[in-house]
Amino acid sequence: MEDLQSERQRMLRRHHREKKELEAQIQSMKCSVPKSDKKRRKEVRHDVARLQAEMEQRHQQELEKFQENFPGGATVDSVTENLAKMNLENRHPHVSRAQKRREKMEALEREHQERVLVAEMEHLASFRHEEEEKLSSILAAKYLEMKDIPADSQCMYRAVQDQLVFSVTVESLRRRTADYMREHVDDFLPFFSDPETGDAYSLPEFMAHCDDIVRRRAWGGLLELRALSHVLQTPIEVIQASAPALLIGEEYRKKPLTLVYLHYACSLGEHYNSVKPLEAGAAGGPAPRLL
């Protein structure tokens, strides 16, 4: 019996630790997205709900399995009570009717949010598949295919780094991008505005954004790519599924760097990938050698 109790306590302690770790992960996810970016923050909330639901389901399954293996040792209810104690929920034994109604409404709301999340994830998966098929066709015509870049706030800079024939760090690309934008304020400031209010950036706000490029690993977009094309004195081609390819820095005569822009690639929003020569036979015949 003591061994059974010890095993149950170990499981409860692990569940408690995993919940704390998930809370830290969720906090990190929320901090990685600017408050002004409502779209990405909504997607992060969906990811948070999914992670919480998955952990809750897994913990419940482990508790039920424990009960099946040791039917005489403890009930799922008693285990759940111990888990609640480990979460420091010091509740009075008596639960009022109002509290029961609130808990019921909260449970119904969680179920609703989970159903909405599942529907949205299925919808997103459909868009993602369609986008990838279109991009594969566009790239195949150029004897290219996508080269995956990690989906984080560094993806645009990593994709550019991957395309360069010389060695350079992502940190250096970020620093040089920020420096160029600071030195050419008049070329960039008019195109920056608050995504919530639509108000144009003030000079201090623009400078703060340049600082964020370096210090906070801010997401990169077309304006940062424009700065990079000047820094590298190289055109940058951005291939996308929903519109013709963009050529940034076309005044330069070098061979363009090629990036792929994906709108539905990951749950956090837009993403950039690099490209590589299409493997022989992947498009019905050998790919020409790209120099």
**Active site positions, annotated:** 152, 155, 271
Beta bridge partners of 116: none
Is residue 214 within 8 Å of 181, Cβ to Cβ? no
Nearest to 264 by CA among 151, 119, 144, 154: 151
Tokens of 79: 């285990």
Separation CA 268–CA 40 (nearest Å)? 6
Three state DSSP letters for 85-128: HHCCCCCCCCCCHHHHHHHHHHHHHHHHHHHHHHHHHHHHHHHH
In sequence order, the 6+-apart residues with CB closer than 8 A to the CB of 195 are 36, 37, 38
Provide the 8-state DSSP code for 189.
Answer: G
Is residue 228 within 8 Å of 160, Cβ to Cβ? yes
